[in-house]
Amino acid sequence: MKNTSPMSIQMIKGVLIDLDNTLYSYEECHQAGLRSSLKQLHKAHPEVDSELFFEEYKLIQSDLKIKLEKTAASHHRLIYFQSILEKLNIWNSKLCLDLYHSYWNNFLAKMALFDNALLFLKELKSKQIPIVIVTDLVAQIQFEKILKLDIDQYIDFIVTSEEVGIEKPNQVIFKSALKKIQCKANEVVMIGDSFDKDIIGAIELGIQAFWYDPDKKWLGGRELPQYTKISSFKELDAIIK
């Protein structure tokens, strides 16, 4: 692993930050949403096997991410549930929407910021450093997540893959963020949990990157560009002084 020399807080004119799995735990919320959707499905069709439901979800998710590669629609839960119900030969629009709303209602209810994330956002705001959420997925859901986390007052802009038409690590999404805060690549930092999407995407544009990796993932000896690895927001706060 190679680390950069971090920028001082005085040098930073903007912060780009991912949302899912960077500011909160996505997987915990996702599992809560899926369990709720299954419960909703069983109200109408108790005969559906639970394991089959989860297996079909994974298969359809994988298929759609290939079919709709690098687009926000590849994450759309309504399309996932539509495909599952069609495959089980039990589709109808009301049931599909019921599963969709049940998923997101319970997903959002489970959300909570990672430790010290709020303090970090508050510090940036106190220093008048603009913050841009740079995220894949559809805009409406990402907006709702921001409201649920109660961080709307700290976020200056958001850029979604739905808005720009392509996902990270494509430079278009990062360039859109830079344009919104009127900064150059060497004036901002990017913080995210996905090495391939957040870190590689930022570095290729000349943005200093902070890889948020609380699980200490192993990258298998890959030849890596320069970046800074952190495992907590407290650590990040200490680095960006």
Active-site residue, 18 included: yes
CA dihedral 135, 140, 146, 152 (to 10 degrees): 110
Alpha helices per DSSP H over the chain: 26-44, 50-67, 77-87, 93-110, 117-126, 139-148, 161-164, 171-181, 200-204, 233-239
Alpha-carbon distance of 27 to 241, in angstroms, equals 31
- Residue that is written with structure tokens 């709020």 in the block: 118
Out of 18, 136, 193, 198, pick the active-site residue. 18
Say if residues 157 and 101 touch (Cβ distance below 8 Å).
no
CA terminus-to-terminus distance, the chain: 22
Residue/partner pairs of 216-221 with CB below 8 Å, 24 or more apart:
219/1, 219/195
Active-site residue, 20 included: yes
Alpha-carbon distance of 232 to 69, in angstroms, equals 31
Out of 20, 136, 193, 198, pick the active-site residue. 20
Q: What is the set of active-site residues?
A: 18, 20
